[in-house]
């Protein structure tokens, strides 16, 4: 049965509710706008083609399609997915019965208290409608009911649905038929992102475009785009208008917000290999960073060899303790290095030169101390002992516990004595021979420091007594003539006689002593000379 009036008038059959994402959306029903609507134009083309195929006119509508497009039967259409959903939230208020959220005059949630308890239950854009099943009239009424029914309340909210599944009719516009999606983009998701205008919230979306493909590159938190878009989403169209670059996306979004305070965006969320590669190319992730220079090939070979060498060394030695530090920093104000008292450990040092050619072994602790004593002795004009000289100029033993260099270095490289060290050694030997000859040839010199000090004191006393005796001899008029004819004067005794007094008798000539003025000093000098001769004999 034909119904001539059905479908003949352009304004009678309005299919815009079929593609409307929200129930409260305002739209323009003027004839000019309806004629320019691309969705309506495509629908008319489909209907006209079907009428011609069935043998009817361009405006012929079959009886079974009358209920789907008739104006009076629009209420009988199956409800499409709404962009909002009703939720019931059980809330525990804080001690001061404060909800911890910011609500405007129209009961829309605009913000949260920092680190609040309700931040995980509410989202930006929620519209509060009731408290404990009591409808709200204003924000003041909302606060009053919270104070009345707290601290445990049930709040009803309308929450915008961020995304819904895209309708196949909208996908067909862009050539994304069911067959194409099944063959090329079977793993991808095609969604409609619902964006409603909020004066206090910014869009918070950044996009990149490449070769006609527009991809989301950044999404700000707590923005209009938050939870609707993800990084890598491919934007297909805005309100049915296909998007090729960033400028088109911006213009279509501004036009939709100015006209309806709402925009629906068709997005393709990539999961298949083809779409993921396309999104990466648009975001520039497939390009290599030119600032990262290539690693030199020879350096890679050296590093690989050193790693193998290190692993082999660790395996052979079973070094479970690891490398211990030998040098420790001093906590004093003057920073210097001190030698640890721990047992020295051999440390393998990697080098890029032939081992043993240019590396010299480290001196031992005993050699360092001996060199220090030699320097101090040279300043104080003291001679070093024979043992010290052997330690200073001896070659380092590889098995010595004080040796820090590895044995492999000492085995291949023998330390050579420098010309400066040879001259110092020869000079020290010559000076030692000279001093030794002087010590044995001179009978009056003593190497002992204590005996030399005693000898100096005794000489001083003898000199003083000789001066006293000379003064006495000058006052005396007597002189004693020697048997050999010499006229050497001899001092007199205390009683004025010149007789020799024999005391502490003894026939041995070595034990005779005479008690003249300087007899005691002469006896002491003889004892010192005898002790010096005996000491020299023992040393020889």
Q: Which domain holds residue 94?
A: 84-160
Domain-embedded: residue 149 = yes
- Domain check: are 41 and 113 in the same one? no
The DSSP string of 141-181 is HHHHHHHHHTTEEEEEEEEE-SEEEPPHHHHHTTT--HHHH
The DSSP string of 339-377 is E-SSPP-------SS-TTTS--PPPPHHHHHHHHHHHHH
Q: Alpha-carbon distance 390 to 432, whole Å?
A: 14
Task: List per-residue pLDDT tens for the chain, 540 residues long.
Answer: 444 434 333 333 333 333 333 334 444 444 444 445 555 555 555 555 555 554 555 444 444 333 333 333 333 333 334 467 788 888 887 766 677 788 888 888 887 776 666 666 787 778 888 998 889 888 888 888 888 887 888 889 888 777 888 888 899 988 899 899 988 888 899 999 988 887 778 888 999 988 889 999 999 887 888 888 999 999 999 998 999 998 999 999 999 988 888 899 999 999 988 888 888 888 887 655 555 567 787 888 888 888 888 888 777 765 555 555 545 544 554 555 556 666 666 766 666 655 555 566 677 778 888 888 887 777 665 555 666 666 555 554 444 444 444 444 444 444 455 555 556 667 777 777 777 777 766 554 444 555 666 677 777 777 777 777 777 666 554 444 444 444 444 455 555 555 444 444 444 444 444 444 455 566 667 777 777 777 767 666
Looking at 283, 313, 332, the residue that finishes a domain is 283
- Domain check: are 202 and 187 in the same one? yes
- Domain check: are 371 and 429 in the same one? yes
Q: Alpha-carbon distance 523 to 164, whole Å?
A: 131
Q: Alpha-carbon distance 70 to 14, whole Å?
A: 8
pTM given for the model: 0.35
- Domain check: are 49 and 109 in the same one? no
Q: CB of 275 within 8 A of CB of 268?
A: yes
Looking at 76, 105, 127, the residue that finishes a domain is 76
- Domain check: are 99 and 151 in the same one? yes
Q: Closest Cα partner for 235 from 258, 260, 206?
A: 206
Domain-embedded: residue 458 = no
CATH of the domain at 129: 2.30.42.10
Q: Three-state DSSP class for 263?
A: strand
- Domain check: are 37 and 58 in the same one? yes
Domain-embedded: residue 298 = no
Domain-embedded: residue 328 = no
- Domain check: are 185 and 90 in the same one? no
Domain-embedded: residue 6 = no
Total count of domains within the chain: 4
Domain-embedded: residue 537 = no
Specify whether the backbone of 300 is left (phi greater than 0), alpha (psi in -120 to 50) or beta. alpha
Q: Which two tokens stand for residue 396?
A: 């380092």
The DSSP string of 505-519 is --S-GGG--B-STTH
- Helix (H) / strand (E) element for 108: namely none
Domain-embedded: residue 535 = no
- Domain check: are 186 and 276 in the same one? yes
- Domain check: are 175 and 268 in the same one? yes
- Location of structure tokens 């320019």: 36
Domain-embedded: residue 540 = no
Q: CB of 10 within 8 A of CB of 71?
A: no
- Domain check: are 203 and 270 in the same one? yes
- Domain check: are 151 and 191 in the same one? no
**Exposure on the CB side of residue 3, measured as CA atoms within 13 A:** 15
Looking at 265, 283, 301, the residue that finishes a domain is 283
Q: How many helices (H) and strands (E) does the chain have?
A: 16, 15
- Domain check: are 129 and 181 in the same one? no
Q: For the chain, percent helix, then strand, then coil, each to nearest 5?
A: 40, 15, 45
Q: Which residues are bridge partners to 213 per DSSP?
A: 210
């Amino acid at each position: 049965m034909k119904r001539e009036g059905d479908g003949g008038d352009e304004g009678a059959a309005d299919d815009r509710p079929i593609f409307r994402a929200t129930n409260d959306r305002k739209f323009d029903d003027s004839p000019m706008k309806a004629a320019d609507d691309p969705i309506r134009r495509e629908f008319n083309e489909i209907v006209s083609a079907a009428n011609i195929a069935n043998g009817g006119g361009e405006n012929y509508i079959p009886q079974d399609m009358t209920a789907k497009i008739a104006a009076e039967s629009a209420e009988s259409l199956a409800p499409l997915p709404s962009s909002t959903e009703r939720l019931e939230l059980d809330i525990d208020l804080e001690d001061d019965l404060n909800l911890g959220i910011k609500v405007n005059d129209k009961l829309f949630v605009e913000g949260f208290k920092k680190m609040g308890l309700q931040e995980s239950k509410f989202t930006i854009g929620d519209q509060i409608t009731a408290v404990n099943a009591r409808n709200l009239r204003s924000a003041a009424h909302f606060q009053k009911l919270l104070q009345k029914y707290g601290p445990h309340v049930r709040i009803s909210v309308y929450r915008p649905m961020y995304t819904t599944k895209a309708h196949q009719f909208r996908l067909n516009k862009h050539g994304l038929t069911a067959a194409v999606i099944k063959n090329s983009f079977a793993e991808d998701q095609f969604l409609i992102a619902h964006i409603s205008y909020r004066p206090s919230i910014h869009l918070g979306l950044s996009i990149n475009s490449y070769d006609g493909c527009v991809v989301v590159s950044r999404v700000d938190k707590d923005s209009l785009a938050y939870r609707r878009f993800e990084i890598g989403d491919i934007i297909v169209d805005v309100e049915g208008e296909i998007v090729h670059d960033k400028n088109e996306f911006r213009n279509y979004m501004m036009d939709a917000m100015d006209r309806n305070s709402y925009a629906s965006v068709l997005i393709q969320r990539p999961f298949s290999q083809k779409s993921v590669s396309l999104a990466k190319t648009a975001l520039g992730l497939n390009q290599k960073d030119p600032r990262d220079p290539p690693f030199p090939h020879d350096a890679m070979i050296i590093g690989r060899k050193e790693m193998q060498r290190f692993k082999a060394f660790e395996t052979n030695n079973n070094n479970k303790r690891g490398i211990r530090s030998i040098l420790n920093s001093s906590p004093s104000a003057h920073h210097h290095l001190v030698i640890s008292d721990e047992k020295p450990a051999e440390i393998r040092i990697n080098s890029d030169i032939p081992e043993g050619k240019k590396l010299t072994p480290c001196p031992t602790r005993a050699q360092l101390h001996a060199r220090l004593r030699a320097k101090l002795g040279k300043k104080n004009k003291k001679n070093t002992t024979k043992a010290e000289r052997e330690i200073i100029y001896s070659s380092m033993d590889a098995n010595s516990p004080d040796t820090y260099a590895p044995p492999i270095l000492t085995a291949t490289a023998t330390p050579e004595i420098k010309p400066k060290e040879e001259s110092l050694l020869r000079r020290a030997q010559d000076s030692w021979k000279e001093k030794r000859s002087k010590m044995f040839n001179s009978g009056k010199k003593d190497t002992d420091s204590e005996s030399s000090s005693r000898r100096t004191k005794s000489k001083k006393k003898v000199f003083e007594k000789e001066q006293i005796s000379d003064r006495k001899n000058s006052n005396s008029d007597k002189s004693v003539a020697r048997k050999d004819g010499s006229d050497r004067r001899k001092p007199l005794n205390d009683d004025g006689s010149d007789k020799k007094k024999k005391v502490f008798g003894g026939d041995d000539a070595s034990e005779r002593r005479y008690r003249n003025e300087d007899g005691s000093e002469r006896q002491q000098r003889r004892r010192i000379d005898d002790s010096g001769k005996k000491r020299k004999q023992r040393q020889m």
